[in-house]
Amino acid sequence: MPELPEVETTRRGVAPYSEGQRITEVIVRDHRLRWPVPDNLSSRAGGQTITAVRRRAKYLLFDTDAGTLLVHLGMSGSLRVMSPTDTLLKHDHIDLVFENGRCLRYNDPRRFGCWLWLKPGEPHPLLTHLGPEPLSDDFNGEYLYQRSRGRKAPIKQFLMDGKVVVGVGNIYANEALFLSGIAPSRAAGRISLARYRRLVDNVKQVLTSAITQGGTTLRDFVGGDGKPGYFAQQLYVYGRAGQPCKACGSELRESRLGQRTSVYCVTCQR
């Protein structure tokens, strides 16, 4: 599933081709996404000019004066900048067509994404209860420490809770916890303020590095697959179970927490 750095890379990839462009048509070939694409999406968005392309958590927000198009890539979705006349691929479900002759084409094999329309100022249940952005000043050690008091849940599950902080997915939670020396199964309420400060710093570092590296894939959004790559060559633990720890040489172990794979070092993480 695309995580926050991949969604932010997508935003940066499509924004230059979308902002300031007038939408002439929304072509929906398959309404059957996670939530049905509204039948009136083309009439709502058609004729509107995109004023900004924003990201909130893993959602992309295409702002216009008449409302906002909310897009989620789901588990397998991608966006490409194309001509509307380019050959359709299997699972090309939606085109957002612009007056300049280009379009954003949405491909989603598993159809678990969404395209929804929000009226100006309309709160949406998908966005209402989200925690702070992990790269914002609102996400800091003191905040995370206070939210964790009395929590018995493993720190990894706590860190991946979108009501606590958005966008810290499985890959980056594994990496940040390793860099912080915190075992993923440790109870969130039993971690000190000092360790939370270090954890927040490492979350920001890991996400920033992934976003920076993702910038090298921006060219893929024009005539390519629109799928930004993960920074796999920099991973310390994720996907490396059974291999030696890069810090101490111990064999990395794997466990399941909340139905997600956790990889960790028993020597470095406590």
From the list 55, 58, 156, 198, the catalytic residue is 58
Burial of 107-145, coded b for 16+ CB within 10 Å and e otherwise, reads bbeebebbbbbbeeeeeeebeeebbbbbeeeebebebbb
Can 2 be counted among the known catalytic residues?
yes
129 is in an annotated binding site: no
Q: Is residue 260 flagged as an active site residue?
A: yes
CA-nearest of 100, 104, 88 to 10 is: 104
The DSSP code for 161 is: -
Task: Tell me the backbone φ, ψ of residue 265, rounded to 5 degrees.
Answer: -110, 120
Helices (H) and strands (E) in the chain, counts: 7, 10
**120 noted as active-site residue:** no
List beta partners, residue 25.
Answer: 97
Q: Please state, in angstroms and as integers, the Cα–Cα distance from residue 1 to each residue in 6, 53, 258, following that order.
A: 9, 21, 16
- Marked catalytic residue, from 3, 6, 8, 175: 3
Residue 91 annotated in ligand binding:
yes
Query: What are the DSSP E strand ranges found in the chain?
Result: 23-28, 52-56, 59-64, 67-72, 78-82, 92-98, 103-107, 114-118, 253-257, 260-264
Parallel, antiparallel, or unpaired: how do β-strands 92-98 and 260-264 relate? unpaired
Is 244 known to be catalytic? no
Kindly give, in sequence order, each residue whose CB lies less than 8 Å from that of residue 128, ignoring residues fewer than 6 positions away: none
Say if residue 110 carries a ligand binding annotation: yes
| Torsion-angle region of 234 (φ positive above 0: left; ψ -120 to 50: alpha; else: beta) | alpha
CB atoms within 10 A of CB 60: 25
Q: What are the helix (H) ranges across the chain?
A: 4-18, 41-45, 125-128, 141-148, 155-159, 170-180, 193-214
Indicate which residues carry an active-site annotation: 2-3, 58, 260
Binding residue positions for DNA: 91, 110, 151
